[in-house]
């Protein structure tokens, strides 16, 4: 299992480090609390802060680190059963780790759905809207569309639970 520490060298802040962590640097969004930017109920009421932050974090703004490429190497050598990652940045995918070798425990930017009707919307559709400083709306029902990042108040993806039972993961972490 990998976490935010492997993406810090790519320029992506972790969430909780005092002074440099993401939650310590969200004042410009005028949130009631830092975690609100990833809270599904807050998102329903005020999605703008998330979409502004998403523009900063969107895949394509960062490159994989040596650790991401090491995970790919493990896969290529047949030594990786699966990488359970807490990261939403898709850097494992960008490094060449195939989707079947990944479990994105907190989801990722790679897919997006309407939070009301569940219609799938493409990565490109959401990215274009995010970079146009707009809020993504469903093309079917007009509901809010968000990347499949797990917000507070949402369940982890079914794939996480399925693969957790199927695999016995080895955890690699840092603090």
Catalytically active residues, by annotation: 106
**DSSP string covering 34-89:** GGGGGBHHHHHH--HHHHHHHHHH-TTSS---HHHHHHHHHHHTT--S-EEE---S
Instruction: Kindly state the helix (H) or strand (E) to which residue 102 belongs, with its residue range.
Output: strand 102-104
CA–CA gap between residue 17 and residue 23 (Å, rounded):
8
Coil, strand or helix at 95 = helix
CA–CA gap between residue 92 and residue 103 (Å, rounded):
10
Tokens at residue 143, please?
Answer: 């509901």
If you ran DSSP here, which 8-state letter would residue 151 be given?
A: P
Q: Are 65 and 94 in contact (CB under 8 A)?
A: no
Q: Is 21 exposed, middle or buried (0-12, 13-18, 19+ CB in 10 A)?
A: middle
């Amino acid at each position: 299992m990998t976490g935010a520490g492997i993406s810090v060298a790519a320029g992506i802040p972790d969430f909780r480090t005092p002074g440099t962590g993401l939650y310590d640097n969200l004042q410009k969004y005028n949130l009631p609390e830092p975690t609100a930017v990833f809270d599904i109920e807050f998102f329903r009421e005020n999605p703008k802060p998330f979409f502004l932050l998403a523009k900063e974090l969107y895949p394509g703004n960062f490159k994989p680190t040596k650790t991401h490429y090491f995970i790919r190497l493990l896969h290529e050598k047949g030594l990786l059963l699966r990488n359970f990652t807490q990261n939403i940045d898709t850097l494992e995918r960008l490094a060449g780790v195939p989707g079947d070798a990944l479990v994105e425990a907190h989801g990722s930017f790679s897919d997006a759905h309407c939070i009301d009707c569940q219609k799938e919307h493409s990565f490109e559709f959401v990215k274009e809207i995010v970079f146009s400083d707009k809020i993504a709306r469903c093309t079917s029902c007009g509901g809010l569309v968000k990347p499949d990042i797990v917000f507070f108040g949402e369940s982890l993806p079914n794939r996480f639970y399925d693969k957790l039972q199927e695999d016995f993961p080895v955890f690699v972490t840092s603090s």
